[in-house]
Structure 1
């Protein structure tokens, strides 16, 4: 059986979709469904069982999980970069992750987990080396600290451990994320509401709409993760982006082009994000390539068009 924590979430549900596409439905979905709106992500998916995340954590700690596990995709986390309750973030993102890892190490189960490009802070170099890591918020620190923990574990691990530092992920099944959903999702909603798509104005040395990120389409991200599932000899902490930064303006232009209406409107950069915002990210994916992964990543304009088409068909 495969376990996907955070399985009702954005990336977790896309992993389940990809496993289903391989004919795999022997899946235990672990999540906190207090927000029942996430069930929309599961309507077309096939799983064997569901477990609440806190029951799952108790089962791990009490050693009462009695199923045979083939691999665990650990995607469950507090993903809000604006959450400053440090105890909560460390409990959910760090201690929970350690408990899942301990189970995998004890039972020699392949363990894949979600890290984040936020560990690099303001950059400007985004390479998997300690000298480039300087998290700016609690979310980033929790991911960074677990990566550090993994680095100490890796030399003696007898089973696969793979951490993926996600860059800006966008695509299907993210609608439940609210303010944390991708810019592409929000700009589409603005255009369909008869508004102009809104971007931040000039800030941090970048022209209006010129702040740039490494945007990766969720299907490309999941394809990469499944390659590692098929190649259990590969372990480590890897950047997972396209390797190419593109400006937010590209997203707005693609949305406008798709719906043939609207024009970009620029707003003042918000005070609450100043000093805690990444104006530029670009994954160095040389380590990912050295591990053997040679898959392609779609460019931002193509990805946004694919995403808009999916949203039009799925609501």
Structure 2
């Protein structure tokens, strides 16, 4: 059995779909659905169980002879969430409980870290997992800090011998793709701009408030969720690979490029207007992210990543433009 926490969410539900396609056997999801259409992210899947997070450890104990691997995608992922106690309870304390359970029971463990751990990027985007290198990072928000706190703790535990038989943390950069529709303001700019562009209207992007970046020229490492799933599938097939790894494309592109790719996928000329960024975001806004991908390639991952244009076109044509946009 493979267990996916956060399996009703964006990346988690895409992973569940891929695992089912790979015929891995039983899949259990640990998550809550809440209200709304989030259930549609899993509506096409066959599942062995759907477990509330509060019952997760009890479920694992009851099924420890069957559980072979945990993909821990569950988290409070909003970068604007203000309840730090809630963030720590989910992103650090619960994650640490899963780490120790996997270490005790010799179960493989792959978890979601985040590029938000890099803060404003002034210290670079190298996935150096040494304690000294991690200590230099300064996340800009409580979400990024909670992920960084967990990264630092498990590196220490692993160095002391308290670790699962395989473990990997993935620092996801700016992920886009199907099943992100429940995320509200945290949806990708692709998902936000598509309905506007599809109606032939003007897409709005933030102006730059940094002298080195033009309006719309703010840069991100945009990565398709398909590539993220491919990396996680590869980790499942390579149990000897351990460590914290960046997960982006290694190529920063602008928000203007992203929106132009949406218009191109629709066969339309781009229409973009630039508006002021809210003042409360300006002092903690990242103007540039780009994953350093050499550690993952050195570990043996050699599959090419989708270009921005190809990834956005796939998302628009196979999902966003369809009556059923879910994977």
2:166–2:241 contact (8 Å) kept in structure 1 = yes
The aligned counterpart of 2:307 is 299
**2:83 aligned with 1:48:** no
Pairwise CA RMSD: 1.6
1:220 alignment counterpart: 227
Report SS of the residue matched to 2:110. strand
Larger displacement relative to structure 2 (126-135 or 30-39): 126-135
Give structure 1 regions of 4+ aligned residues with deviation exceeding 3 angstroms. 57-60, 63-67
Tell me, in whole angstroms, the C-alpha distance in 2 between the residues paired with 1:39 and 1:92. Answer: 21
CA distance in 1, matches of 2:116, 2:164: 29
Match of 1:159 among 152, 165, 169: 165
Question: Which residue of 246, 259, 263 corresponds with 1:252?
Answer: 259
* SS of residue matched to 2:112: strand
The residue aligned with 2:176 is 170
**Structure 1: runs of 5+ lacking an equivalent:** none
Q: Deviations over 1:267-296 (max 9, x none)?
A: 111112111111100001111111111111
TM-score by length of 2: 0.92
Q: Which residue of 1 aligns with 2:281?
A: 273
Q: Give 1:23 deviation, angstroms.
A: 1.5
Q: Contact 1:154/1:236 (CA < 8 Å) preserved in 2?
A: no
Counterpart contact for 2:99–2:164, Cα < 8 Å: no
Q: Distance in 2 between matches of 1:30 and 1:85?
A: 22
Structure 1, residues 104-144: CA drift from partner, whole Å, max 9, x if none?
Answer: 11111110000000100111310123265210000000000
Give, in whole Å, the separation in 2 of the partners of 1:158 and 1:142: 21
The CA distance in 1 between the partners of 2:59 and 2:88, in whole Å, is: 20
Counting matched residue pairs gives: 313
Change (3 A) 1:36 1:53: farther
Deviations 1:167-187 (A, max 9, x none): 000011111111101000001
Answer yes or no: is the 8 Å Cα contact 1:195–1:262 preserved in 2: no
Kindly indicate whether the alpha-carbon contact (under 8 Å) linking 1:25 and 1:48 is maintained by their aligned counterparts in 2.
Answer: no
1:226-241 alignment runs, 5 A limit: 226-241=233-248
Equivalence for 1:203? 209
Kept after mapping to 1: 8 A contact 2:166/2:240: yes
What's the CA shift string for 1:66-93, capped at 9, x where partnerless?
Answer: 5510100000000100012111100011
- Unaligned 5+ runs, structure 2: 128-132
Distance 1:48 1:59, change over 3 A: closer
Deviations 1:135-176 (A, max 9, x none): 000000000000001111223135111000000000111111
Rounded to whole Å, the distance in 1 between the matches of 2:255 and 2:25 is 37
- Distance in 1 between the 2:63 and 2:235 partners? 25
1:133 to 127, 137, 140: 137
- The Cα offsets for residues 46-82 of structure 1, whole Å up to 9 and x where unpaired, read as 211111111214556xx44555101000000001000
Give the Cα–Cα distance (whole angstroms) in 2 for the partners of residues 58 and 306 of structure 1: 40
